[in-house]
Amino acid sequence: MRPSVDIDAANATAVERMMEAHPVLVGLGRALDVIPGMREDLLLHAGPPITWERASGPLRGAIIGALIFEGKAHSPQEAEALVTSGAVHLEPCHQHSAVGPMAGVISPSMAVYILENQAHGNRAFSNLNEGYGRVLRYGAYGEDVQQRLRWMHDVMAPVLGEAIAASGGIDIRALLAEALHMGDEGHNRNKAGSILFTKALAPHIARAAPNSDVAGEILQFLGDNALSVLNPVMAACKAMADAAHGVEGSTLVTTMARNGTDFGIRVSSMGDRWFTGPAEIPKGLYFPGFQAEDANPDIGDSTITETAGIGAFAMAAAPAIVTFVSGTPQDAINATLEMYEITVAEHKYFTIPYLDFRGTPVGIDLRKVVESGITPRVNTGIAHREAGVGQIGAGLVRPPLDMFLQALVAVAEKYGFA
């Protein structure tokens, strides 16, 4: 039987949808109210599906912290019992139109950003960024973490939600395009984007806050955190990737995500099926006092940025951070040039000044990955393997090649190419 799908055409459709997706931050909501399929007994997490037994330290810590935050558990043991007994379920963020950095745990009462793709109508969600140090996304769950989470939800979220609504929505695609011209790559470096984000909201926060002290606290919290915009950016990328998902015959990779144990991908034409391989330890630079032995395997949904054509794929736009991943500015250029070899398009809206405003490489084609043996580059933070220690470095990681081979064979079997 001669296969009837035109893969090139399918990929062209999928990548066009990815680029034309137009995610706008329209508001904040409670996870239980806004995330499709969210339930009282459900926790969402980063990466492909996983059980408590196989979960790494940071993910376990974040699960514990989220259940304490929800008031469902008062100790790590209680939290563990809830999950292992089946009273609380774990499902990937990605299966609920959501993404979260690092452990990526989203619990029912958490506030989440709502991104709306104005081109295709789909929505995507992400949690709020807590800043640095001992934070839930790195698996910390102590009282300091709980206090910050409560402040974020009780004090900041209402004001932020009102400010976003009053702004008429923040066009994250345009913000990202501008940030790429200001030295960000949208994954490890979001300094410029966070400033643009804070600047856009500042007047509305000032008006929405009950008093100037609260306005000042919120503005300082957002302004001090160079990752403030990371979560809305990730949700925007998720909205783009989801727009490209589900195109019959397409070999485009629409999800790359890690749960701290496995790296997983999903492919446009293969529905909810995950293809997974072991997550690796990133190569990079460690903060003083830490080394590779302390590192957790790769974790987080933030690889959605690379999936959508920024992050490591836009490294040539962000030469300032190459020393962080131990390299020279030429390495930054080369990183982006290499990614053109496994992608099907150059982005219409995200461009790189140094490459003469060439569009970023976008739309990872499984076929090109398998043919060339070049796996996608990922810029990433490095988590300590123990819950709650936090970020201990940053670096570069690549997903294992084998899951791309599995995915290719699966697509070939589905469409009669095998």
Query: Which residues are at the interface with other proteins (CB under 8 A)?
Result: 3, 6-9, 22, 171, 173-174, 177-178, 181, 251, 330, 333-334, 337-338, 340-341, 348-349, 351, 353-358, 367-368, 370-374, 405, 408-409, 411-412, 417-418
Residue 288: beta bridge partners?
A: none
- Nearest-approach distance from CB 249 to other proteins, in angstroms: 10
Distance CA 388, CA 365 (A): 36
Q: Are 229 and 193 in contact (CB under 8 A)?
A: yes
Distance CA 4, CA 245 (A): 20
- Nearest-approach distance from CB 9 to other proteins, in angstroms: 8
- Nearest-approach distance from CB 304 to other proteins, in angstroms: 18
Closer to other proteins by CB, 134 or 348: give it: 348
Q: Determine which helix (DSSP H) or strand (DSSP E) holds 79, and give its type and residue range.
A: helix 76-84
Distance CA 200, CA 176 (A): 13
SS (H, E, C) 380-409: EEEEECCCCCCEEEEEEECCCCHHHHHHHH
- Nearest-approach distance from CB 344 to other proteins, in angstroms: 10
- 306's CB contacts (< 8 A; 6+ apart) are 187, 256, 312, 313, 376, 377, 378, 379
- Nearest-approach distance from CB 251 to other proteins, in angstroms: 7
Strands of 111-117's sheet in order across:
98-99, 123-127, 111-117, 23-30, 170-171
Q: What is the DSSP letter of 48?
A: S
Closer to other proteins by CB, 77 or 372: give it: 372
- Nearest-approach distance from CB 89 to other proteins, in angstroms: 37
Closer to other proteins by CB, 58 or 376: give it: 376
Where b means 16+ CB within 10 Å and e means fewer, 306-344 reads bbbbbbbbbbbbbbebbebbebeeebbbebbebbbebbb
Q: Are 104 and 44 in contact (CB under 8 A)?
A: yes
